[in-house]
Amino acid sequence: MADHAHHGHDHGPGRAAAGRRRLVIALVLTASFMVVEIVAGLISGSLALISDAGHMLTDAAALGLAIWAQGLGTRPRSSAKTFGYRRAEILAAAANGIVLGATAIAVIVEAVRRFASSRSIQGGPMLAVAAAGLVVNVVSAVVLSRGASGHDLNMRAAAAHVLADASGSVAAIVAAVLILAFGWTIADAVTSIAISGLILFGSWRLLRDTTHVLMEGAPPGIDVAALERLVRATPGVRDVHDLHVSSIVGDAPVITAHVLVNDGAHGVEVARDVGRRIDAAIHGAHVTIQPEASPPESTLLPVEGLIRDRR
């Protein structure tokens, strides 16, 4: 009989509703200012502003996807989806990482093309809009960061998009200052490439983390070798095998193991003790322990004898 220790998580309706409100606020701010940046970019001729508006367009889509995924993740589990739909948040985060990287590459390609042609850029409007955009992005980032833990990849993905836009606004401000002070219109393309490189790095990290979850990797901060030693040290445990550590989402560890119990030990009690030890070491984990009786020594054939018998 397996001992199941499914301990409580703070994933209730209150937390989900608060997270959704933060995402909606960020979406409204982002979508509204995106229109302003598109108009200002076309008027001033600034690639930095247009590319930042492009980032905001992907941000709006990313935030909408995050809102959808979070809503889907609150649906109750079913007979077909026994863990529920929370992994939709990981899929949304992965999709956002891909879009973020593709957008950065598109900006780099356009910036390289601009090196070959000189265009007139109005630094004044560019500076004013970029500064306003930075304020909007910082406000959105603060709103999202209050609801994003290090393991909430869906919220992290949304925050990464907004922070990328904030970086784009900083780049546009720097470029505008250089254009106004020295007439260096090339600064527009250079800063766009620099900031897109940073966005690519953030996209890679996000995809790395989501892929790790989808590949059933052990959550960060969990030492599997130490966990195995902890199980082996439990009174009544003779051996442990098939120890698996993964997560449904970044903040929901799932731990399963088969333990061989010593002769005379009660399997259910040993499994319960193992589950309690794991819970004390790793709070909030879904723990399932399967106790197994050790096989009698007399039933084990020597390997040499087994080989001779087969001959």
Each residue's pLDDT tens digit, 207-225 = 888 899 889 899 888 899 9
Superfamily, domain 3-214 = Cation efflux protein transmembrane domain (1.20.1510.10)
Tell me 146's DSSP state: T
User: Does 3.30.70.1350 match the CATH number of domain 224-299?
Assistant: yes
Confidence (pTM): 0.69
For residues 10 and 298, the answer to whether their CB atoms sit within 8 Å is: no
Q: What is the mean pLDDT of residues 91-110?
A: 83
**11 has a pLDDT exceeding 60:** no
Per-residue confidence (pLDDT) for residue 231, from 0 to 100: 94
Query: What is the residue extent of each domain of the chain?
Result: 3-214, 224-299
**274 has a pLDDT exceeding 80:** yes
Confidence of residue 159 (pLDDT cuts 50, 70, 90): confident
Looking at per-residue pLDDT, the higher value among 135 and 15 belongs to 135
Confidence of residue 173 (pLDDT cuts 50, 70, 90): confident
Amino acid, single-letter form, for residue 191? T
Q: What is the mean pLDDT of residues 253-274?
A: 92
Per-residue confidence (pLDDT) for residue 15, from 0 to 100: 57
If 0-12 CB within 10 Å is exposed, 13-18 middle and 19+ buried, where does residue 64 land? middle
Backbone angles phi, psi at 300, to 5 degrees: -90, 120
Of the candidates 180, 64, 189, 205, the residue with the CA atom closest to the CA atom of residue 125: 180
**230 has a pLDDT exceeding 90:** yes
**6 has a pLDDT exceeding 50:** no
**Residue 197, C-beta contacts closer than 8 angstroms, at least 6 positions apart:** 104, 108
Backbone angles phi, psi at 257, to 5 degrees: -160, 150
Confidence of residue 7 (pLDDT cuts 50, 70, 90): very low
**294 has a pLDDT exceeding 80:** no
Residue with tokens 């197994």: 292
Per-residue confidence (pLDDT) for residue 306, from 0 to 100: 44
The sign one gets for the Cα dihedral 105, 110, 116, 120 is negative
Per-residue confidence (pLDDT) for residue 10, from 0 to 100: 45
Looking at per-residue pLDDT, the higher value among 226 and 89 belongs to 226
Per-residue confidence (pLDDT) for residue 151, from 0 to 100: 55
Per-residue confidence (pLDDT) for residue 9, from 0 to 100: 44
